[in-house]
């Protein structure tokens, strides 16, 4: 269970009392505040705070473009226009602060997105909990044989069992030894926490506060809610997508259409499309593309 009874009590208390504010309020987001959305076996995502809504994006755009935005009839149209033309600064005017509990190997990918603010639980100061990510059997995938970074079929039988046994046993043993090393009982001095933590494997859970603006969040989601992302980070991105959809529905709709569901074509691909639409035949050989490019291009054209 990701959330402890103490945490749930705190959440309930925070959700019990509203205060008046003059700021922009997103009703869809207020529903999410503080609640933990479960992810993986012990992880969660929860909204701690937010700034702005769809209207705030338009308001900022209208400061920039002034009378130039008059022609766009409504907010949704303006937001779609901004997204289509890569006008990123109005989206930067919204901000979200999340509390995330996640395995360390996921945190290591996540932190590569540098344009965000982070406060992570410190294993130099404090003692980590005995919580490890252990995949479900159906998520134990083999190395892909066609893609260096992807996953192939699901492991079966004894092999799957052995993998699960390793993951469970090793993490528990590592944690037993971690506890023993820092223990000050029985006359022991107790190893410094900043040293003892090095014995813990990458599937241990950590947690952090992560604050980011909407433009950079969309960039993160485009890469991590993508089918090429590792499943264990994609489930976090998917959970955040559901939250953002309620927070800024118009902006999320434009993001879904222009980024998540869209495609980027090279100059060569654009030329091929012009020929194909005109009825000409095009093959990989005549396209000027490599085999890998052509395969990806066909994925766009044929679906």
> Using CB under 8 A, which residues numbered 133 to 162 contact a second copy?
133, 135, 139-144, 148-153, 155-156, 159, 162
Q: What's the CA gap between 237 and 39, in Å, rounded?
A: 10
Q: Shortest gap between Cβ of 6 and a second copy (angstroms)?
A: 14
Question: Site mask, a second copy, residues 207-246, x = CB under 8 A?
Answer: xxx-x-x---------x----x-x----------------
CB 81 within 8 A of CB 48: no
Catalytic residue among 165, 173, 224, 259: 224
Q: From the list 4, 9, 14, 161, which residue makes contact with a second copy (rule: CB under 8 A)?
A: 14
CB of 187 to a second copy, least distance (A): 9
Rounded to the nearest whole angstrom, what is the least distance from the CB of residue 246 to a second copy in the complex? 14
Give the span between the Cα atoms of 21 and 215, in whole angstroms. 25
By the rule CB under 8 A, 119 interacts with a second copy: yes
Tokens standing for residue 85: 């033309």
Q: Which residues, in sequence order, are CB contacts of 207 under 8 Å at separation 6+?
A: 99, 100, 101, 102, 120, 121
Residue-wise burial string across 94-131, b where 16 or more C-beta atoms lie within 10 A, e elsewhere: bbbbbbbbbbbbbbebbeebeebeeeeeebeeeebeeb
DSSP letter at 229 equals S
Q: How far apart are CA 61 and CA 86, in angstroms?
A: 12
Residues between 31 and 60 with contacts to a second copy, criterion CB under 8 A: 33-34, 48-52, 56, 59-60
> Which residues inside 72-101 make contact with a second copy, applying CB under 8 A?
77, 80-81, 84-86, 89-90, 92-93, 95, 97, 99
Q: Does 2 bind a second copy (CB under 8 A)?
A: no
- Give the tokens for residue 157: 């039988």
Query: Rounded to an integer, what is the distance from CA 205 to the centroid of its chain?
Result: 16
Q: Which stretch binds a second copy (CB under 8 A): 1-9, 37-45, 239-247, 267-275?
A: 267-275
- The conformation of residue 257, written as its DSSP 8-state character, comes to I
Smallest separation, CB 70 to a second copy (Å):
9
Nearest distance from residue 1's CB to a second copy, in Å? 20
| Token pair in block for residue 190 | 């107790």
What would the two tokens of residue 226 be? Answer: 């993508």
Instruction: Pick between residue 74 and residue 242 the one whose CB is nearest to a second copy.
Output: 74
112 is in an annotated binding site: yes
Q: Which residue has the tokens 């469970």?
A: 168
| 46 carries a ligand binding annotation | no
Ramachandran area for residue 134 (φ above 0: left; ψ -120 to 50: alpha; else beta): beta
Size of the residue set binding a second copy (CB under 8 A): 141
Residues 188-207 that bind a second copy (CB under 8 A): 188-195, 197-203, 207
Active site residue 224: yes
Phi, psi of 141 (to 5 degrees): -95, 150
Q: Does 3 bind a second copy (CB under 8 A)?
A: no
Q: Which residues are annotated as a binding site for FAD?
A: 89, 112-114, 120, 213-215, 219
Catalytic (active-site) positions: 224
Q: Which residues are annotated as a binding site?
A: 89, 109-114, 120-124, 197, 213-215, 219, 224
């Amino acid at each position: 269970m990701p959330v402890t009874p103490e945490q749930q009590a705190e959440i309930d208390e925070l959700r019990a009392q509203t205060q008046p504010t003059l700021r922009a309020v997103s009703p869809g987001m207020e529903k999410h505040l503080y609640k933990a959305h479960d992810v993986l076996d012990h992880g969660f995502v929860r909204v701690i705070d937010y700034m702005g809504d769809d209207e705030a994006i338009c308001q900022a755009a209208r400061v920039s473009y002034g009378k130039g935005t008059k022609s766009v009839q409504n907010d949704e149209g303006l937001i779609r226009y901004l997204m289509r033309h890569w006008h990123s600064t109005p989206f930067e005017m919204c901000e979200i602060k999340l509390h995330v509990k996640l395995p360390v190997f996921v945190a290591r990918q996540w932190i590569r997105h540098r344009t965000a603010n982070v406060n992570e639980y410190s294993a130099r100061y404090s003692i980590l909990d005995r919580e490890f990510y252990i995949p479900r059997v159906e998520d134990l995938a083999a190395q892909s044989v066609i893609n260096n970074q992807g996953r192939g079929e699901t492991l079966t039988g004894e092999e799957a069992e052995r993998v699960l046994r390793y993951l469970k046993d090793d993490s528990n043993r590592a944690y037993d030894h971690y506890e023993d090393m820092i223990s000050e009982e029985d006359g022991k001095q107790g190893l410094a926490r900043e040293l003892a933590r090095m014995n813990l494997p990458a599937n241990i859970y950590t947690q952090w506060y992560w604050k980011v603006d909407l433009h950079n969040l969309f960039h993160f989601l485009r890469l991590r809610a993508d089918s090429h992302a590792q499943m264990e980070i994609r489930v976090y991105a998917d959970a955040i997508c559901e939250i953002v959809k309620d927070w800024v529905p118009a902006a999320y709709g434009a993001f879904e259409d222009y980024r998540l569901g869209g495609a980027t074509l090279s100059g060569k691909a654009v030329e091929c499309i012009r020929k194909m639409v005109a009825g000409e035949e095009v093959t990989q050989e005549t396209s000027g593309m490599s085999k890998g490019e052509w395969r990806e291009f066909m994925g766009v054209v044929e679906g």
